[in-house]
Amino acid sequence: MKKLFFILFSGFVLTGCTSLQQIALDNAGAASLKGQSITHTARKMPRFQIMGVDVKTSLGEADALIKDNQIPDPADAIARDLVAALSSAHGARPGGAPLALDSDEVDAISVAAGGSVRFVVDVQTLNWFAWYFPLDWNHYRLIYVARARVIDLASRKVIAESFCNRVPDDPEGAPSYKELVGDGAAGLKKELDVAGKACLATMKEKILAQ
């Protein structure tokens, strides 16, 4: 029963998300990075939600929780670290300001770059929210879904891609609602840090084939 719920829930989390793939950087793509400029995108943070049984948190309250506690989008740190990893592994040159985007289309991203950089790492938080565990309503898990793409702006092609879909299924050590939002949202910050690091590890493994 628990396994079935996890499968169904994972499908729900990904419902409505853009197409997700795992595409490792091939030899030609890796070679094309050498000596070329690379930066990352900066996207508008999606709205955060908290869903509980006896707890009602509106979208406005969740927005305030994120803003008042200066909680960053995990995608930003993931993108910076992927740029560093690609530069270290394949000799790309980090540089230039992050590209502010609101489009997923590669052509639009290339136009936005305006020839200022050859490659861009586009990391986007697709879904993030806190929800109680199905068999433990007193503790909350952070659901986090993100996608990373390495885009060659000269050819306007995605040369590598990865995604992560983090849905914890063990309530041991998970925060209560008060622990999640209290003390400057300390519990939420901790869970986001764990999710971000886990997603970064997955994306590095899949993109760099390490």
pLDDT tens for each residue of 38-62: 999 999 999 999 998 777 788 889 9
The confidence score (pLDDT) of residue 18 equals 60
Query: Could you state, in order of their start, the residue ranges of all structural domains in the chain?
Result: 23-208
Instruction: Look at residue 129 and tell me whether its pLDDT is greater than 60.
Output: yes
Quote the DSSP letter at residue 56: B
Is residue 75 within 8 Å of 40, Cβ to Cβ? no
CATH of domain 23-208: 3.40.50
Separation CA 171–CA 191 (nearest Å): 12
What global pTM score does this model have? 0.88
The confidence score (pLDDT) of residue 4 equals 40
Instruction: Look at residue 10 and tell me whether its pLDDT is greater than 90.
Output: no
Beta bridge partner(s), residue 142: 130
The confidence score (pLDDT) of residue 185 equals 96
The confidence score (pLDDT) of residue 66 equals 95
Q: Could you tell me the two tokens for 16?
A: 């409505």
pLDDT tens for each residue of 144-195: 999 999 999 999 999 999 999 999 999 999 999 999 999 999 999 999 999 9
Percentage of the chain modeled with pLDDT above 70:
90
Separation CA 148–CA 199 (nearest Å): 10
